[in-house]
A and B are shown apart, each in its own frame.
Chain A
Amino acid sequence: GAVVSQHPSRVICKSGTSVKIECRSLDFQATTMFWYRQFPKQSLMLMATSNEGSKATYEQGVEKDKFLINHASLTLSTLTVTSAHPEDSSFYICSASLLAGGSDTQYFGPGTRLTVL
């Protein structure tokens, strides 16, 4: 099946610093990637949709200046959490959309655990 990786898997940072998370589709090209955030014991909440070569589309309530998304190629999207604060601590998960056989399926990365001190 299609494989999506994320790096790093865990990161701990000080309040006020920025953190970059990478999402890669390893064996397929993804025109669309999605970024989700998941708080403990809650469901995945979509943050933004990232299309290669264009600006990301953010969901309501997600600050685009705080969560910078770059989709530089068909296999790489990055999420940068700028000026991170403790309330940004969460599990960040990306997915990549694979179009095959007339339908598209989202394949998820393993997630990145961000802890802001």
Chain B
Amino acid sequence: GESVGLHLPTLSVQEGDNSIINCAYSNSASDYFIWYKQESGKGPQFIIDIRSNMDKRQGQRVTVLLNKTVKHLSLQIAATQPGDSAVYFCAERPTDKLIFGTGTRLQVFP
């Protein structure tokens, strides 16, 4: 349904630390999951994806973990940089459409 929220959850991390952003998804039929990064005034940018037959996938500085038992997805960013500051959305795909989560704002401070 419509996501209602005046305030996005915010994660504040110090530059150089690792960040973990969590997401709970709703549909057990979802077989594909994606993390997107959205900077202010821009469209979502693909970060990393994972299929339901995997529980972990690594990219450059990013790792996605999938726990199907509890329908939980996480994005780990290593050595967080100021350029990582953005809103991060998880998305699930139960059919041919994407369903986006509510988003988490990542703030990186020096």
B96 and A32 form a contact (CB under 8 A)? yes
B44 and A108 form a contact (CB under 8 A)? yes
A34 within 8 A of B: yes
Number of cross-chain contacts by CB at 8 Å:
56
Q: Contact check: which of A6, A32, A93 meets B44 at CB < 8 Å?
A: A93
Q: Return the chain A residue nearest B8 by Cβ.
A: A41
Q: Return the chain B residue nearest A60 by Cβ.
A: B1
User: How many A residues face the partner with a CB closer than 8 A?
Assistant: 24
Identify the interface centre among A34, A44, A109: most chain B CB within 10 Å of its CB: A44
Main secondary structure of the interface of A (DSSP, over half): strand
A45 and B98 form a contact (CB under 8 A)? no
Q: Contact check: which of B6, B41, B89, B97 meets A43 at CB < 8 Å?
A: B89
A45 and B43 form a contact (CB under 8 A)? no
Binding site for A on B (CB under 8 A): 2-8, 32, 34, 36, 41-46, 49, 89, 96-103
